[in-house]
């Protein structure tokens, strides 16, 4: 502590005007200093020429020719694959990207052979690896033929590779494997968009599996909901703070900016015209922040969204291989070899007619019953607001855990509300079954509260799972949870509430009863209006289906097969019963997990590349279980039963 006074006095003396050194006051020295700063330091400006040269250098490095080993071509021919130049070029590009970045996203649209490209890349790398894929794509031996990844593993002679499914237990086992055996150097993840949410346990395990490995991600839909989706996948092989995909080398900051802008743009488009004043005000605040104006112009919002999309694409294109059919047809080389690709026509809307009374009920379900602020309270999914006594709880007034609990329960309630609306739009049969399921769950909860003397249990793990399970799986988990309440089996994830201590106990109990009465009313109306027994949507489907199956674009075209798709198992079950009567013996359906036998039946009837062709079935009715890893190119049309809430599934 000696000398501080003297040092301070010396410092102050130096800062006196008469003792200061002239720097910027001298015009010549000022100019030279600025020149040094802008050319020879971290503050140096990038000239247009330098930027162009850097982009060109990066492009050439990514596309520099990589000589593929001759035995890869020999393998293709020996195993009966056609040698497409667009696939060969993709392999060369993928190897170059891997060399630069340690991983690649192969994102060609469905049907262009992502698995074949990945198999060739794996063979060229000449390293040991693991393939992680959905259970239906693992494949196996059936009727003397190998299917799925088991087939590709043999075709490309990846004999020392492992194939694992994406389930949690399988992922844990795979992590244990790579931690104990260090010679696994490559990870292929098929349908990688399943891991778009980095807040799930499955993603965390996969991230650990991929650490310090070469990662090959396969997905036709890398961008699903938000910029965070693609960022989650990038982080499986790129260290965000050390990325060379951006000039700043900081991918984290870049995607944080993307997410910030995307969130505001989404809020503006969604809520600029909301009936909720707070939401309209929120949209206006976001618009002011982005555009500096009080008057919302949706054209500007759309243009900004397009600019954001282009910017993201420019970043990810350095590690992504993405071609569609139009790209191939417009390429002078590729167009010579893809003449067999089908032409995808624009979708055609098919309308069905409701009676005035049915139409009025339809509107009530969408708006009055399950719309925002509708009659459905969903009390059993958000007990916290009744315990606390307020619906709109300010975040700054809650602790971190309380805030998380309130937010998660609100999300669960919104999810259930939307689920019922989507089921209603999908089919009246699926909606009826969902209402019955919701009624059953609510009755069991109500009875449990009575029998337990005022206790209520909510499974916190179930709430977490709404971010990683699909809607059918969530519905099943809810039923399992309600059944568990009746058996007395407890879980360590259970949150126990004492309803007697709720600030709004009476409202909580009355809202549960109100929901039950709403469900009963809806079921009565469905029966009275005959929406299930004489479903006008199914009548229109049957009419269009018969017409499509008769259609011929060319005289030599075979009978047209049709794929009918729905997101919901309940809809598939409901439609299957109806169509089986209209088209007896012509229908095959896939509702849940696909057995090897069922997979063979499907591909023998709908995949042109399968050796043992069959013509037993003309109609395939399925959920999106069929969307992963199956070629259905003998079909000439696709019918989507649902409104495309999620274009990725479609």
Q: What is the pLDDT of residues 506-539, one digit of tens each?
A: 999 999 999 999 999 999 999 999 888 888 999 9
User: Which comes out higher in pLDDT, residue 66 or 32?
Assistant: 32
Spell out the domains of the chain, with CATH numbers in brackets.
4-45 (no CATH), 61-238+319-336 (3.40.50.10810), 239-316 (no CATH), 356-528 (no CATH), 536-640 (3.40.50.300)
How many beta carbons lie within 10 A of that of residue 470, not counting itself? 17
Label residue 66 by pLDDT band (50, 70, 90). Answer: low
> Out of 18-22, 88-92, 189-193, 270-274, which region has the weakest mean confidence (pLDDT)?
18-22
Q: Strand 145-146 vs strand 141-142: parallel, antiparallel, or unpaired?
A: antiparallel
CA dihedral over 350, 356, 357, 362, signed as positive or negative: positive
Label residue 304 by pLDDT band (50, 70, 90). Answer: very high
pLDDT score, position 407: 80
pLDDT tens readout for residues 223-269: 777 888 889 999 999 988 777 777 666 788 889 999 999 999 999 99
Distance (Å, whole) CA 534 – CA 363: 19
| Contact assessment for residue 325 and residue 109, using Cβ atoms and an 8 Å cutoff | yes
| pLDDT at residue 396 greater than cutoff 50 | no
| Contact assessment for residue 496 and residue 457, using Cβ atoms and an 8 Å cutoff | yes
pLDDT score, position 135: 84
Q: Which of 422-431, 557-566, 638-647 has the highest mean pLDDT?
A: 422-431
Angle at 245 between CA 647 and CA 306, to 5 degrees: 40
What is the mean predicted confidence (pLDDT) over 401-410? 76
Q: Which of 121, 75, 117 shows the shortest CA–CA distance to 98? A: 121
| pLDDT at residue 467 greater than cutoff 80 | no
> Out of 24-33, 248-257, 485-494, 606-615, which region has the weakest mean confidence (pLDDT)?
485-494
What is the mean predicted confidence (pLDDT) over 99-128? 91
Q: Which of 271, 304, 305 shows the shortest CA–CA distance to 285? A: 271
| pLDDT at residue 298 greater than cutoff 70 | yes
| CB burial readout 29-66, b (16+ within 10 A) else e | eeeeeeeeeeeeeeeeeeeeeeeeeeeeeeeeebeeee
Cβ neighbors of 558 (< 8 A, separation 6 or more) are: none
Q: How far is CA 547 from the centre of its chain?
A: 34
pLDDT tens readout for residues 94-109: 999 999 899 999 998 8
pLDDT score, position 301: 93
| pLDDT at residue 9 greater than cutoff 70 | yes
Distance (Å, whole) CA 359 – CA 344: 33
| Contact assessment for residue 236 and residue 206, using Cβ atoms and an 8 Å cutoff | yes
| pLDDT at residue 570 greater than cutoff 80 | yes
Q: What are phi and psi of 131, to 5 degrees?
A: -105, 125
How many beta carbons lie within 10 A of that of residue 297, not counting itself? 11
| pLDDT at residue 395 greater than cutoff 60 | no
- Reading the block at residue 142, the tokens are 């059936």
User: Which comes out higher in pLDDT, residue 241 or 219?
Assistant: 219
pLDDT score, position 595: 74
| pLDDT at residue 122 greater than cutoff 90 | yes
How many beta carbons lie within 10 A of that of residue 340, not counting itself? 8
What is the mean predicted confidence (pLDDT) over 333-360? 81
- Overall residue count recorded for the chain in this entry: 650
How much of the chain exceeds pLDDT 70, in percent? 89
| pLDDT at residue 399 greater than cutoff 70 | no
Label residue 400 by pLDDT band (50, 70, 90). Answer: low
pLDDT score, position 69: 67
Average pLDDT, the chain: 85
pLDDT score, position 647: 59
Angle at 227 between CA 226 and CA 231, to 5 degrees: 125
């Amino acid at each position: 502590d000696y000398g501080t006074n003297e040092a301070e006095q010396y410092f102050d003396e130096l800062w006196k005007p008469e003792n200061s050194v002239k720097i910027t006051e001298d015009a010549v020295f000022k100019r030279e200093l600025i020149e040094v700063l802008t050319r020879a330091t971290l503050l140096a400006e990038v000239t247009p020429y330098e930027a162009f040269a850097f982009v060109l250098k990066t492009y050439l490095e990514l596309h520099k020719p990589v000589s593929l080993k001759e035995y890869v071509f020999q393998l293709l021919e020996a195993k009966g694959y056609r040698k497409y130049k667009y696939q060969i070029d993709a392999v060369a590009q993928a190897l170059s990207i891997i060399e630069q970045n340690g991983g690649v996203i192969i994102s060609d649209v469905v049907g262009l052979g992502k698995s074949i490209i990945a198999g060739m890349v794996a063979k060229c790398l000449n390293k040991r690896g693991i393939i992680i894929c959905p259970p239906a794509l693992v494949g196996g031996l059936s009727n003397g033929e190998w299917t799925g990844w088991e087939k590709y593993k043999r075709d490309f002679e990846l004999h020392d590779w492992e194939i694992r499914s994406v389930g949690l237990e399988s992922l844990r086992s795979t992590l244990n494997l790579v931690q104990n055996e260090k010679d696994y150097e490559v990870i292929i993840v098929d349908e990688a968009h399943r891991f778009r949410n980095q807040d799930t346990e499955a993603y965390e395990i996969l991230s650990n599996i991929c650490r310090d490995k070469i990662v090959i991600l396969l997905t036709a839909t890398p961008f699903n909901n938000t910029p965070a989706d693609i960022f989650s996948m990038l982080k499986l092989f790129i260290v965000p703070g050390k990325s060379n995909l951006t000039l700043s080398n900081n991918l984290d900051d870049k995607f944080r900016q993307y997410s910030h802008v995307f969130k505001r743009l989404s809020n503006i488009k969604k809520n600029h015209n909301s009936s909720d004043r707070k939401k309209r005000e929120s949209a206006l605040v976001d618009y002011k922040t982005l555009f500096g104006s009080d008057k919302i112009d949706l054209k500007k919002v759309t243009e900004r969204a397009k600019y954001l999309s282009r910017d993201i694409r420019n970043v990810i294109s350095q590690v992504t291989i993405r071609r569609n059919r139009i790209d191939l047809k417009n390429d002078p080389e590729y167009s010579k070899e893809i003449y067999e690709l089908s032409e995808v026509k624009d979708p055609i809307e098919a309308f069905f007619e409701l009676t005035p009374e049915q139409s009025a009920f339809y509107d009530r379900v969408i708006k009055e019953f399950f719309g925002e602020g509708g009659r459905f309270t969903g009390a059993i999914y958000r007990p916290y607001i009744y315990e606390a006594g307020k619906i709109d709880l300010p975040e700054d007034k809650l602790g971190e855990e309380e805030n998380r609990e309130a937010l998660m329960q609100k999300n669960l309630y919104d999810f259930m509300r939307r689920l019922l609306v989507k089921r209603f739009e999908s089919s009246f049969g699926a909606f009826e079954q969902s209402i019955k399921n919701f009624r059953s769950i609510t009755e069991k909860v109500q009875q449990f509260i009575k029998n337990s003397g005022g206790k209520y249990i909510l499974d916190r793990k179930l709430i977490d799972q709404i971010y990683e399970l699909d809607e059918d799986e969530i519905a099943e988990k809810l039923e399992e949870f309600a059944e568990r309440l009746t058996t007395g089996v407890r879980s360590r994830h259970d949150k126990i509430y004492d309803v007697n201590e709720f600030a709004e106990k009476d409202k909580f109990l009355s809202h549960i009863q109100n929901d039950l009465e709403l469900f009963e009313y809806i079921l009565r109306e469905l029966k009275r209006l005959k929406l299930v027994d004489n479903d006008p949507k199914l009548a229109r489907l049957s009419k269009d289906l018969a017409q499509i199956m008769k259609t011929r674009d060319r005289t030599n075209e075979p009978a047209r097969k049709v794929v009918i798709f729905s997101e919901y198992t309940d809809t598939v079950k409901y439609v299957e019963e109806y169509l089986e009567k209209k088209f007896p013996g012509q229908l095959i359906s896939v509702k849940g997990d696909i057995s090897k036998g069922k997979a063979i039946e499907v591909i023998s009837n709908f995949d042109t590349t399968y050796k043992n062709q069959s013509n037993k079935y003309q109609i395939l009715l399925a959920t999106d279980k069929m969307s992963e890893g199956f070629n259905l190119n003998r079909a000439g049309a696709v019918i989507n039963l649902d409104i495309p809430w999620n274009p990725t599934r479609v």
